[in-house]
Amino acid sequence: MDQPIEILASNPVYMAVAVVLAIIILLGIIKKLIKLVMVVSAILVLWVAYMVYTGQEVNIESAQKSYETAKETVIEAVSTAGEKAKKSAVEKMEEKTKENLDKLLPKKD
């Protein structure tokens, strides 16, 4: 595991590629989170509008409870997505590093 890190640290081109990949992954996760927040907000607004339209009282405790469960779900989804993205990035980086090392240092048979 130390060898790929040393290769990344010693070669600025590999480091730049790794940084760009990390930024792309991070932006993708942020983009998905923003969409999720927008959808949850829209559902909340529609729910409140429905409650007002039907003449029912908007129960604040119920809304807070729904908010807390949605918050927990989002936090869980973010942590899971982050772990998957990290694992995927590490696997791809190791694979590409191995391919490049095999090209640079052919095996002697």
8 A C-beta contact, residue 25 and residue 77: no
Evaluate if residue 63 carries a pLDDT over 80.
no
Evaluate if residue 85 carries a pLDDT over 70.
yes
7 CB contacts (<8 Å, ≥6 apart)? 14, 97, 101
Question: Tokens representing 95?
Answer: 């694979």
SS3 of 57, please?
coil
What is the structure's pLDDT at 33? Answer: 85
7-62: pLDDT as tens digits: 777 888 888 888 888 889 888 888 888 898 899 889 888 988 888 899 888 777 87
User: Where along the chain do its domains lie?
Assistant: 2-96
